Amino acid sequence: MLGRDNKMSEYYNNNNNNSKSDNGKDKTTSKVRCVALLSGGLDSTLAVKMMKDMGVEVKALAIKTPFCDFDCGKGCGFRVKEVADALGVELKTVYLGEEYIEMLKRPKYGYGSGMNPCIDCRAMMYKLAKEYMEECSADFIVTGEVLNQRPMSQNMRALRIIERESNLEGKVLRPLSAKHLKPTEAEVKGLIRRDMLLGIKGRSRKVQMELARQLGLDAPNAAGGCLLTDKQFARRVRDLLDHVSNPTLNDVELLKVGRHFRLCKDAKLVVGRNKDENELIQALMQEGDIMLEPKDVKGPKALLRYNNGKGDEGEGEEEVLALAASIVCRYSDADGPCIVVVSDGITTKEIKSEPIADAMLESYRI
């Protein structure tokens, strides 16, 4: 904790201008350089700030995935660029797309509480950081990871596995928890003063918040806005992987929108909840999809997507369309039966439908 770690206050009160390592090497002239994984959240921001204050040149790397895009509403938001600018560090952004979805199907180290493959995810990020480290001739990698803060990926065993999987053993410095960890190559070589590193561990962020206050930082939220940890979203992901052999980025984007219903093994319906979602659903429509919306009354747009051909287990296209129309009618402003317009982008037809009963509706909800 902060009160027990006098080196924290000592460093920031007395040693911010110290650019010498233990062996007397001038870090400014020797151009000690690191690549820092920056999410824009509290811990990674502090880690970068610590390196900057020690005179290390920092190259920041932000990694987006289809499930944590800095703007998913659960973490650091879109702050990563502002944080990099405020810290005065160069920022490179990399996007993991189809390769991430492929990993998600069968993660080597399994899932967490939802569909979050945290260890495999971090290993992918470390590999990208290693490539960037080699590209810009950096000496080591820095992360804001705190020992035991996250149960799956930040325990001692997981940290060792992630380093081993990415061939980065000894090259990852975690300045917030360094005193609980084995010295890294950067410390052994004297590039970084170990006595100026910290010994934080556990889930509480009180220490980090106080440190941010000491440093005059506008403390950002904790990062970790991964949608895969959300249990409802995780059900949608599991349903997708169970029914689609090769999901696309379009499939993933559709998971983030609307209400989802599994009508049969080969058909899913996504129903918009508001005007913005209706527009997103329309934008995500692709060849083979069918759009439904009520006629003459206000109501949602709904996208019907077949994944392995039309019809399943005796349920033909007409039966599936009728079911989809009844769900659309249920969410419309109609007091009873309504007309639902059905279009595949080429042809259009109308279906007169009764709203589905709520009890029946829930049996299809994902």
Neighbours of 4 (CB within 10 A): 8
d(CA 36, CA 24): 24
| Average of per-residue pLDDT values in the chain | 89
**Which residues make beta-bridge pairs with 51?**
none
By the 10 Å C-beta count (0-12 exposed, 13-18 middle, 19+ buried), 85 is classed as: exposed
Q: Where is average pLDDT lowest: 20-24, 43-47, 177-181, 321-325?
A: 20-24
CA-nearest of 220, 24, 29, 54 to 142 is: 54
pLDDT at residue 9, as a whole number: 53
User: By the 8 A CB rule, do 161 and 107 touch?
Assistant: no
Q: Phi first, then psi: what are they for 205, rounded to 5°? A: -110, 20
d(CA 246, CA 6): 53
Q: DSSP secondary structure string, 203-218?
A: S--HHHHHHHHHHT--
Q: Phi first, then psi: what are they for 342, rounded to 5°? A: -120, 125
Structure tokens at 265: 């093994």
pLDDT 10s digits, 168-193:
999 999 999 999 999 999 999 999 99
Q: Phi first, then psi: what are they for 93, rounded to 5°? A: -115, 135
Indicate the SS3 state at residue 44: helix
Taking 60 as the threshold, does the pLDDT of residue 238 lie above it?
yes
Q: Which residue has the higher pLDDT, 94 or 71?
A: 94
Neighbours of 241 (CB within 10 A): 16
| Distance (Å) of CA 292 to CA 289, 318, 365 | 10, 13, 17
Q: DSSP secondary structure string, 243-274?
A: H-SS--HHHHHHHTSSEEEEEETTEEEEE-SS
pLDDT 10s digits, 84-140:
999 999 999 999 999 999 999 999 999 999 999 999 999 999 999 999 999 999 999
pLDDT at residue 222, as a whole number: 56
Enumerate the CATH 3.40.50.620 domain ranges in the chain, comma separated.
2-215
pLDDT at residue 70, as a whole number: 52
Band of residue 22 on the pLDDT scale cut at 50, 70, 90: very low
Per-residue pLDDT, averaged over 10-37, amounts to 58
Q: Scan for tokens 């077949």, then name that residue.
A: 306
d(CA 299, CA 17): 62
Helix (H) or strand (E) holding 100: helix 98-105
Per-residue pLDDT, averaged over 240-260, amounts to 97
Side-by-side strand order, sheet with 267-271? 259-264, 267-271, 302-306, 290-295, 338-343, 348-353
The CATH number assigned to the domain with range 2-215 reads 3.40.50.620
Helices and strands in the chain, H and E counts:
14, 11
- Determine the length of the chain: 366
Band of residue 315 on the pLDDT scale cut at 50, 70, 90: low
